[in-house]
């Protein structure tokens, strides 16, 4: 993306942007994950997104990924991977897996919302964020697989927490997501083995 600063907004335009655009993202704190399940500790999309970014950065360190542009892309992908849930809510992974037509409609709605959410951004920025979301969904690149792993690891750790609080759902969640972690990690290792450089 171009790093040249565009014309800066006036104070009134900045205030309008804060009130009309940026405030939308605070709704992520209210969108509950696992909303149809019995959980002891609720988790918001905002909490999950933060954890995905922290885990992504940790994985970069563990996998010796040091290229700053690549790390930035990974973190940006982590930030936008669930941002559409502000409007479409959280749909359980198992539901999306069982009903591909729901997953397609959901992803289409997320892309549309992403475009609306970043309507004040440049066309180039909007297209970049959409490309990050699409790349994450396809999970074929080193960057997207790191974010996918971080996403799944966050769910696994959430399951650990629920289990430690006495919720049997936590163990079921861990068992379910562990299979996804192993499958994604194998895919990640294949990408690395097939010549995708880590730096």
- How far out from the chain centre does Cα 157 lie? 16
Overall pTM > 0.85: no
Q: With helix as H, strand as E and coil as C, how does 29-40 read?
A: HCCEECCCCCCC
The CA distance from 34 to 91, in Å, is: 8
Is 62 part of a structural domain of the chain?
Answer: yes
Is 92 part of a structural domain of the chain?
Answer: yes
Cα angle vertex 136, ends 133, 137, to 5°? 90
Is 17 part of a structural domain of the chain?
Answer: no
What tens-digit pLDDT sequence spans the chain (199 residues)?
Answer: 455 566 777 888 878 877 777 777 766 666 667 666 677 777 888 899 999 999 999 999 999 999 999 999 999 999 988 877 777 666 766 777 788 887 788 778 878 877 877 777 888 988 999 999 999 989 999 999 999 999 999 999 999 999 999 989 889 989 999 999 999 999 999 999 997 655 4
Domain span at 71: 23-193
Domain count within the chain:
1
CATH at 136: 1.10.3210.10
The CA distance from 182 to 165, in Å, is: 25
The CA distance from 118 to 148, in Å, is: 23
Strand partners, 44: 32
């Amino acid at each position: 993306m171009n790093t040249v600063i565009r014309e800066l907004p006036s104070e009134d335009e900045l205030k309008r942007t804060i009130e009309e655009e940026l405030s939308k993202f605070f709704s992520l704190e209210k969108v509950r994950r696992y909303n149809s399940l019995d959980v002891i500790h609720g988790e918001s999309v905002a909490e999950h997104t933060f954890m995905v970014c922290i885990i992504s950065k940790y994985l970069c360190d563990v996998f010796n990924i040091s290229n700053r542009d690549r790390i930035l892309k990974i973190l940006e992908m982590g930030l936008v991977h669930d941002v559409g849930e502000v409007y479409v809510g959280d749909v359980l992974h198992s539901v999306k897996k069982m009903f591909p037509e729901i997953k397609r409609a959901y992803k289409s709605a997320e892309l549309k919302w992403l475009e609306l959410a970043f309507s004040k951004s440049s066309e180039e920025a909007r297209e970049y964020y959409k490309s990050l979301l699409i790349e994450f969904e396809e999970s074929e690149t080193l960057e997207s697989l790191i974010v996918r792993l971080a996403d799944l690891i966050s769910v696994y750790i959430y399951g650990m927490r629920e289990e430690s609080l006495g919720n049997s759902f936590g163990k079921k969640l861990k068992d379910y997501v562990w299979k996804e972690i192993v499958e994604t990690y194998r895919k990640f290792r294949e990408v690395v083995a097939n010549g995708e450089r880590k730096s």
